[in-house]
Structure 1
Amino acid sequence: MGRNEYQEEEAARPKKKKKKSHKVYAFMVLVMGIAIIALAVLILFYVQKIEVEGNEYCKDKEIINTVQNDRFSINSLYILGKYALGRGGQLPCLDSMKVSMKTPWIVKVKVKEKPIVGYIYAGNEYAYFDKEGMIVYKGADFIEGLPCIEGIETGDISLYGTIESKDKSIFEEMLVTSQQVKKYKIAPDKIVCKDDRIYLYKGTIRISLGNSVSSEQIAQIPPILEKLEGKEGTLHLENYSEGNTTITFNAEEIQEEN
């Protein structure tokens, strides 16, 4: 090997090392850049507040705990992704739940609760149920404008459980009654089952509906109640149907029974 060739080989070696060091430096910069971005995401999208909107009887805390039901739910991006993929939790008392980002650190949750159609007084608590008979809320708080269900023997009444009754058929009719009175905005004081017959109580008026309740029967009540204001007695709608439109009112019946 000649002197000139040896010198050329020696001159080439530092260049390879220099090129290799540039690659290492570029890799380190890339890693640091990714780490900075990741840290920024963690800090910027760290959930500081969750705002709940649309709920009346379902507590904010219950909804928030459902949204943040795992250790990664401290990040707003993670929460949004979880619900976008349909993997987010939802309480049984809710019809729908929409999760969005108000700011990177504030998550907004808009909910729609299942409508309550009535309640059962159980011990020292009120058990409120939806049209399917599911207990959507249970507590000492009294919600006005809802009928109390009486006269039906029920089993265990637990939150998010469905009310079960030995008198299944008549209880289903009472559920239908609860839905219909809500639809026509009647707001009776209570719905009572007595001798397998269903009665509504509204002030001093008792309304007899029989053992099978229809929308047509309930639709007659509001205009008649206006005419009966100040009176006391029983309004008989048990025989009312499309083929039989007879409606009677007995002003003495309640007084005789009491």
Structure 2
Amino acid sequence: MKRIYIVLFIIAGIILGIYSVKIENFNFGGNTRYTNEEMKAMLFPNDFSKVTLYNVVRSKLKRKYNIPFIQGVDIYVTGLHSADIIVYEKSIVGCVKYMSSYMYFDKDGIVVESSNTLLYGIPVIDGLDFGRIVLYEKLPISNENVFKDMLDITQVLVGYGINVDRITISSDNNITLYMGNIEVYLGDSSELNGKVGELRDIWGKIKDLSGTLYLDNYNPLKDNTTYTFKKK
């Protein structure tokens, strides 16, 4: 019986020793939607989740985490008390309002997330005619031309690093951007790269104004493109 107690004591000591070795230094990378502290709270919510051996095991298992807007997470234990956490965010270029939620889609028009929260820097697309939206499926937009224009303008904006509050696409495929107190009328989807490039170049001159910028007459063959800005 004494030998059993000794074995149990040794096992308890080993468990206690393992439990006492925890990650204290967390180095995050790749996260822009959440702060480091927010990611830490979601991935390491209690003492057990910080145990070093536990994180060695779960890093090998490639566990999936049900975190909004996050595609995946890799945890690399770099020492007894340290770990590097690499966050892979879902690629999102825009969203549409559907019932009481925002449905976020990627560059291919696939709905990748549903949330009641509107993310900063992600434009809301208005003027679209769609049916029932299903998560992880393509946005059900009946007009393929409108669908293509939507994807084109959102990707061009991402490419130029321009944040837009809202985008409207009319039934005749004319595009208008809404940026604070300024509306930017692009007209049809022709020469989108040039139009958005022009917007980027002149934004510093008009960003504090209120009115409508007309870029529908943009012509890449002209050296000095003229544009019209009407103040409100």
TM-score range (shorter-chain normalised) is: 0.5 to 0.7
Return the offset for 1:199: 2.2
Matched, 1:240 2:219: yes
Provide, for residues 199-234 of structure 1, a one-character-per-residue CA deviation record: whole Å limited to 9, x for no partner: 223333332141345423311112234445636334
Aligned position for 1:196: 173
Structure number, greater radius of gyration:
1
Matched, 1:205 2:180: no
Matches within 5 A, 1:152-171: 152-171=128-147
Regions of 4+ moved over 6 Å: 31-34, 47-52, 105-108
How far apart, in 1, do the equivalents of 2:211 and 2:11 lie? 78
How far apart, in 2, do the equivalents of 1:209 and 1:126 lie? 26
Question: Per the alignment, do residues 216 and 96 of structure 1 end up closer, same or farther by CA in structure 2, a change over 3 Å counting?
Answer: farther
Aligned position for 1:6: none
- Aligned match for 2:120, one of 144, 167, 173: 144
The count of residues paired between Structure 1 and Structure 2 equals 221
Instruction: Mark the runs of 5 or more structure 1 residues left unpaired by the alignment.
Output: 1-27, 66-72
Aligned position for 1:128: 104
Higher helix fraction (1 or 2)? 1
Instruction: Mark the runs of 5 or more structure 2 residues left unpaired by the alignment.
Output: none
Return the offset for 1:150: 0.8
- Aligned match for 2:64, one of 75, 89, 110: 89
Residue pair 2:149, 2:173 contacting (<8 A) in 1 also? no
How far apart, in 2, do the equivalents of 1:169 and 1:76 lie? 53
How far apart, in 1, do the equivalents of 2:145 and 2:109 lie? 13
Question: Per the alignment, do residues 57 and 221 of structure 1 end up closer, same or farther by CA in structure 2, a change over 3 Å counting?
Answer: same
Provide, for residues 78-112 of structure 1, a one-character-per-residue CA deviation record: whole Å limited to 9, x for no partner: 5434534x643256943552203377688764313
Q: Match of 2:193, as an amino acid?
A: S
Return the offset for 1:177: 1.4
Over the residues paired in the alignment, what is the CA RMSD in angstroms? 4.7
Residue pair 1:147, 1:188 contacting (<8 A) in 2 also? yes
Question: Per the alignment, do residues 82 and 145 of structure 1 end up closer, same or farther by CA in structure 2, a change over 3 Å counting?
Answer: closer
Return the offset for 1:183: 3.1
Aligned-residue identity in percent: 21
Question: Per the alignment, do residues 128 and 50 of structure 1 end up closer, same or farther by CA in structure 2, a change over 3 Å counting?
Answer: farther
Question: Per the alignment, do residues 231 and 111 of structure 1 end up closer, same or farther by CA in structure 2, a change over 3 Å counting?
Answer: closer
Question: Per the alignment, do residues 81 and 151 of structure 1 end up closer, same or farther by CA in structure 2, a change over 3 Å counting?
Answer: same
Aligned position for 2:151: 175
Question: Per the alignment, do residues 237 and 57 of structure 1 end up closer, same or farther by CA in structure 2, a change over 3 Å counting?
Answer: farther
TM-score (norm 2): 0.65
Provide, for residues 170-215 of structure 1, a one-character-per-residue CA deviation record: whole Å limited to 9, x for no partner: 2232222122223323322311111122222333333214134542
TM-score (norm 1): 0.59
Matched, 1:220 2:187: no
How far apart, in 2, do the equivalents of 1:61 and 1:163 lie? 33
Question: Per the alignment, do residues 124 and 62 of structure 1 end up closer, same or farther by CA in structure 2, a change over 3 Å counting?
Answer: farther
Q: Match of 2:188, as an amino acid?
A: G
How far apart, in 2, do the equivalents of 1:64 and 1:228 lie? 43
Provide, for residues 101-135 of structure 1, a one-character-per-residue CA deviation record: whole Å limited to 9, x for no partner: 37768876431323543222222222333333344
